[in-house]
A and B are shown apart, each in its own frame.
Chain A
Amino acid sequence: MRMFVTIGQFALFCVAVTRATLTHRPPVAASLQAAYEIGIRSLPILVIISTFVGTNLALQGYNAFKPLGGQSLVGMFVALAGVREMAPIMVAAMVAAKAGTEMASQIAVMRIQEQIDALEVMAVNPYWYLVTPRFAGILLVLPALTIISVFTLLLSSYSVSVFQLGLNGDEFLSHIQQTMSMMDFVFTSVKSIAFGAIICMVSCFYGFYSSPGATGVGAATNASVVVSAVLCSSLNYVLSELLYG
């Protein structure tokens, strides 16, 4: 029962945000600021994790294919698993953990300290002021972060494959080229835009409906990351089926 109430509240929240976004002037400067903050803060951790996901994919691919004599197919494995699946969901998980929790906790504290009520009394729409710039910012920056993650992952898996495992670099790149096309970058961007929308709306929603007190802020932050991760993972399957199936 409680779940249905939450779904109903979330739907109303999405309607309110959409209406506020469409009926007010676009908050360009605030959106660019949000994009910068989400992008810059997430970039270092993203590069580090992508690097090591790439190295491990190369190692696991090599170990899996070697008994079959197909170790030269590591490039194809990295392209399929890493680029199409791992990179978008990994970036979404990191941004949900870093930027999403920040959104949820900031907005929850504003709710508790009556700052959202203050916005309303000052006749400033809180959905437009708080959610719209974050939404635009995350949609701007998430595809870029995902493409950076893709290249970092490919570079690190190439390095391990060639310099540690002794595979032929040209062969590795040729398998990647045969497996991937420009459409993979388009599809990856589509996925990351969908994940960005989910992360922002879910995180802001839990912030807006936070219960009072430190426990309330903690619960809102926790729920934002858990729900974002579950929704992104399940949507990833649906999108993969639609785009590649």
Chain B
Amino acid sequence: MADPIIRLVNLHKSFGSLVVLDGVSFDIPTGETTAIIGPSGTGKSVLIKHIVGLLEPDEGQVWVGDVDMATANEKRKYEVRRRFGMLFQDGALFDSMTAGENVAFPLRYHTKLNEKQRREKAEEMMELVELPGVYDRPTSALSGGQRKRVGLARAIVLEPEIILFDEPNSGLDPLTSDTIDELIGKMKRQLGITFIVITHDIVSCVNIADHIVMLNGGKLIEHSPTQSFIRSENPFVRSFLRRNVDLDALKPL
């Protein structure tokens, strides 16, 4: 396993009496894809929000490089966030802008490119996610799959070191879902960066991930390379896999 780019150490988080993360610790290796899976409501999205510093843990550390996001001040957090791109569950696109303006948005604030250059760069990213020619289309006119791709293009436009995907396949039909997986695989090969994918789609996990982390009830159940995960003897993992897929059919892309 490569050196970790992110280290989660004994992470605890509760909302009132609801314990969401209960002593979670694991490393995310540089340049590889780590999938975080588990049933709904098990703390996956909360975990990812800790990684980018949108939530602070009750206890524990979230190391991104040499910065602990749990204790870093706002200025430092913003500096660290420049290393991230993130695809949100529903895209989180700004309705007041066109698809292309959404993609170009981070360039406005973090580069010295002029408007023409920003547009060129955004169009280049939109081609990379196989969505050419929709720069001027309003976001309301995009399908679910197109919204994800625009969100993906926006996530990669600043060429981040780490990209987070929050349920990239949710709400998509199987074909579009496969296309998104292929896009992630293609970017993994082309960009060579660290991917963290949250999903409860085990097929997608096996397609794209090098490592799989499984959470349940806020606890880490399993953390292993994808092929070992599929063969895991952990009863909860077996049960989760059996409920979701034909195990014999699981093969990485």
Interface hit among A115-123, A148-156, A187-195, A226-234? A115-123
User: Which secondary structure dominates chain B's binding surface?
Assistant: mixed
Q: In the complex, which residue of chain B has the Cβ closest to the Cβ of A120?
A: B54
Contact with B along A94-127 (1 / 0, CB 8 A): 0000000000000000100111011011111100
Q: Say yes or no: A123-B54 contact (C-beta < 8 A), given A114-B90, A118-B86.
A: no
Q: Mark B67-98, 1 if CB is under 8 A from A, else 0.
A: 00000000000110110111011101110000
Answer whether A122 and B105 are a contact pair too, CB < 8 Å, given A114-B88, A117-B49, A117-B88. yes
- CB of B15 within 8 A of chain A? no
Bound together, the chains give a CA A136 to CA B208 distance in angstroms of 47
Contacts of A120 in B (CB 8 A): 52-54, 81
On whether the beta carbons of A123 and B81 are closer than 8 Å, the reply is yes
B88 — nearest CB in chain A belongs to which residue?
A114
Chain B residue numbers with a CB within 8 Å of A113 are 90, 92
Say whether, besides A122-B105, A123-B78, A123-B81, A117 and B94 are in contact (CB < 8 Å). Answer: no
Q: In whole Å, how far is A134's beta carbon from the nearest beta carbon of chain B? A: 13
Is the interface on chain B under 10, 10 to 19, 20 to 34, or 35 or more residues? 20 to 34
Instruction: Please give the distance in Å from B125's CB to the nearest CB on chain A.
Output: 14
Query: In angstroms, how far is the closest chain A Cβ from the Cβ of B22?
Result: 23
Across-interface contacts of B144 in A (CB, < 8 A): none
Q: Which residues of A contact B86 (CB under 8 A)?
A: 118, 121
B6-58: which residues lie under 8 A (CB-CB) from chain A? 49, 52-54
Interface residues of B in 186-215 (CB under 8 A from A): none
Hey, which chain B residues are within 8 Å of A118, CB to CB? 86, 88, 92
When C-beta atoms are compared, the residue in chain A nearest to B110 turns out to be A123
Closest B residue to A110 using CB positions: B94
Residues on B lying within 8 angstroms of A by beta carbon are 49, 52-54, 78-79, 81-82, 84-86, 88-90, 92-94, 105-106, 109-110, 154, 164
Q: What 12 additional pairs, Cβ within 8 angstroms, besides A117-B49, A123-B106?
A: A113-B90, A114-B92, A117-B54, A118-B88, A120-B81, A122-B105, A122-B106, A123-B78, A123-B81, A123-B109, A124-B106, A125-B78
The 3 closest A-B pairs by CB, nearest first: A118-B92, A114-B92, A123-B81
11 contacts between A and B (CB under 8 A): A113-B92, A120-B53, A121-B54, A121-B84, A121-B85, A121-B86, A122-B105, A123-B106, A123-B110, A124-B109, A125-B78
Interface residues of A (CB under 8 A from B): 110, 113-115, 117-118, 120-125
